[in-house]
A and B are shown apart, each in its own frame.
Chain A
Amino acid sequence: MKDFDIGTLVAVLRELLGPWLWVSLGVAAVAAVAFLYVVVRDRGVVPSRLVWSEVVAIGGGVAAVLITQRVTHSGFSDLGGPIDWVLLAALFIAGAIGTLIAAYAAFGLMCGGSRRRTVHAATPRADGYAPLARQASPRL
Chain B
Amino acid sequence: MDTSSLRLGRRALLASGGALAAVGASLPARARVGTRARIVILGAGAAGLAAAARLSQRLEGAEITLVDSRREHLYQPGFTLVAAGLRRPDYVVGRTADYIPPGVRWIEERAAVIDPDARRVTTASGQLVHYDFLIVATGLELDYAAIEGMDVSRIGRDGLGSVYAGPEAAAATWRAMSEFADRGGVALFGRPSTEMKCAGAPIKYAFLTDDTLRRRGNRGRAELVYNSHNRVLFSVPIVSEKVRMLFRDRAIRVNHEHELAAIDLGAKIATYRTPTGLVPMKYDFINVVPPMRAPEVVRRSPLAWQSGPFAADGWVEVDRATLRHRRYREVFALGDVAGVPKGKTAASVKWQVPVAVDHLVADIAGTTSAEAYNGYTSCPLITRVGRAMLVEFDYDDNLVPSFPGVIAPLEELWVTWMMKEVGLKPTYLAMLRGLA
Contacts and interface: CB of A to CB of B under 8 A. Distances in A.
Contact of A8 (B406, B407, B430): B430
Contact of A15 (B86, B387, B430): B430
B406 A83 contact: yes
A7 interface: yes
B22 A72 contact: no
Contacts of B34: none
Contacts of A12: 423, 426-427, 430, 436
Given A16-B422, A78-B387, A8 B411 contact: no
A6 B376 CA distance: 22
B244 to A, nearest CB: 19
A88 B414 CA distance: 10
Given A6-B26, A12-B427, A14-B13, A84 B415 contact: yes
Contacts of A8: 26, 430, 435-436
Contacts of A21: 9, 12
A119 interface: no
A11 B433 contact: yes
A21 B26 CA distance: 20
Contact of A80 (B86, B413, B425): B413
Interface string B64-80: 00000000000000000
A81 B388 CA distance: 12
A81 B413 contact: yes
B2 interface: yes
Contacts of B426: 12-16
B418 interface: yes
Given A6-B26, A10-B19, A87-B418, A81 B411 contact: yes
A79 interface: yes
B398 interface: no
Nearest to A79: B414
A11 B386 contact: no
A5 interface: yes
A135 interface: no
A51 B1 CA distance: 43
B397 interface: no
Contacts of A83: 406-408, 413, 415
B264 to A, nearest CB: 35
Contacts of B16: 22, 25
Interface residues of B, number: 46
Interface string B418-434: 10011101110110010
A113 B367 CA distance: 68
A84 B425 contact: no
B417 interface: yes
Contact of B6 (A3, A5, A18, A78): A18
B35 interface: no
B235 interface: no
B324 to A, nearest CB: 20
B407 A18 contact: no
Given A7-B23, A87-B418, A18 B1 contact: yes
A2 interface: yes
B385 A80 contact: no
A74 B417 CA distance: 9
A70 to B, nearest CB: 11
Nearest to A68: B418
Contacts of A80: 387, 411-414
A72 B407 contact: no
A73 B421 CA distance: 9
Given A7-B23, A19-B5, A72 B418 contact: yes
B351 interface: yes
Given A2-B351, A8-B435, A78 B26 contact: no
Given A16-B422, A22-B16, A77-B386, A11 B430 contact: yes
Contacts of A79: 414
Interface in A55-88: 68, 71-75, 77-81, 83-84, 87-88
Given A7-B26, A18-B5, A80-B413, A73 B385 contact: yes
A1 interface: yes
A101 B221 CA distance: 53
A3 B426 CA distance: 16
B9 A6 contact: no
Contacts of A13: 426
Interface string A22-42: 100100000000000000000
Nearest to A72: B421
B13 A78 contact: no
A48 B414 CA distance: 38
Interface of A: 1-3, 5-8, 10-16, 18-19, 21-22, 25, 68, 71-75, 77-81, 83-84, 87-88
15 contacts: A2-B351, A6-B23, A15-B427, A16-B425, A22-B8, A72-B386, A73-B385, A74-B386, A75-B386, A77-B386, A78-B387, A80-B411, A80-B413, A84-B415, A87-B415
Given A6-B22, A80-B411, A88-B414, 9 more contacts: A5-B27, A12-B427, A14-B13, A15-B427, A18-B6, A22-B9, A78-B417, A84-B415, A87-B418
9 A-B pairs with least C-beta separation: A78-B386, A15-B426, A11-B435, A74-B386, A16-B426, A11-B430, A5-B26, A15-B429, A84-B414
